[in-house]
Structure 1
């Protein structure tokens, strides 16, 4: 019923799918059709302006973080190595979705190859999970720095940081790897129109005309493994951090120590709240308008990559100093 409504609203897309959906079985269709933001087609060009601005800021900010950390030897430490991994993850995450979204908004380029759709889906969910894992690693870094400051340099050595980064990457890759294989096995005999700007896992599997409980259950288990366990790990780390902070003798020392965690906490809030809200809307918001869900899904993919370099740039004195030095040298 939902697919029929979409077809009626976008009649110019009718040639892209089979009218006799009850008899046609196009398992592994050659292409999918991305609608963009259903119901807001007339505003696509206007919506593209803030989207493009967010993406430009994200690319510029994250490349700046990578450049500064690489050029400044004093920033070659665990916190900044994790920040670089986060910046790379943000760049991949935003770049995997926004160019195609803008091509839909600007050029009405709605077709996406089936394999390209699966690849985009994999990158979106893989690097979202990786970003969550990096926040856990950064919480671990803050825990060691505050609760065991004298042992920080011996516990989180460069090889240990590299192993943590590799473990986060492998966890994400292995957890998300079944997604495209499960999606590929379903028959798509209803329509190949995706009411979205990108190939989100749930949006694609809902088009299948067979029992997709395996995909649904696996997606829920991945969501639990990544979101719930990562949030729990971060909460445990910060419980210990707060205990150590409150044990300090002076208010100034407590504020100064807590100030080293503010940027990390702000980045966590910017990442998890839109993501949790989007997940709840996609699974339980049957009465929520489709365009609202699609907008929220785009916000949680674009907002953190844009905010993270701003948050860390504004809250980290070493990065601010290096930025000022960079612009000062250019100006002289």
Structure 2
């Protein structure tokens, strides 16, 4: 999502890799683009300004003011559908879609609101629910057994010290529930220490909990296949991710051969499967000027491709290297 919310009397900051996303989706004049992760509306606004029609989707009810602003300014060309991008094809039934953009992860809007519980840098309830319903991060931290918690932190956060962190969490919650972001962040720092200049020791654990709470990997895979179903030949898909686990899924979705086993030269040559995506672009990353303006963009990666004429595949996690919690640590 990568965009920052500012007061209502100002425009939101430019979302990450905006120019690259617009280039990947062109031509835009008169095109129908699905913005599957609306957030503050930065991509939607830029698409509308470029002459596109936009159907935007988001599950976060807090986006309402930004939706209302665009509806007032673009009443004929902007539509908003509350929900998840994993079901984006259901939001555009009967409409011919030309492109889809997905900006995966937590938005700056959510990070900057302490009471959402996404940031270890702000005191707030340990929540992290994008849709503001269902199981929270506090529920996971206070109810999972030690092995389950360690596996989760390892698989979704690539936290190598997950077992030690889980031990400290279980010991601490025996005395009192862990209910706030700073309470958990301090506990993790106590468990594994902190070296000057390194990223905050709670970074990976907070990422893992957020991914688990919001089923983000499932959402991503489902959303990619939904885009494959809805886009006709020549349709364009642009996906911005913010960490290596997401990027690997998108990379293998576009090009399944990237994750497949090498074929032995002693085996008969098999026919390559039909390609659902062509003109797969080289991964794009933010330049120095963008990073200076928005340091949070530093880990963002854009991957884009064009839909072929091959029929859409059924949803499958096979070959996408989606992390699994079971037995991970």
TM-score by length of 2: 0.26
Q: Judging by fraction of residues, say which structure has more helix.
A: 1
Q: Judging by fraction of residues, say which structure has more strand.
A: 2
**Higher Rg of the two aligned structures:** 1
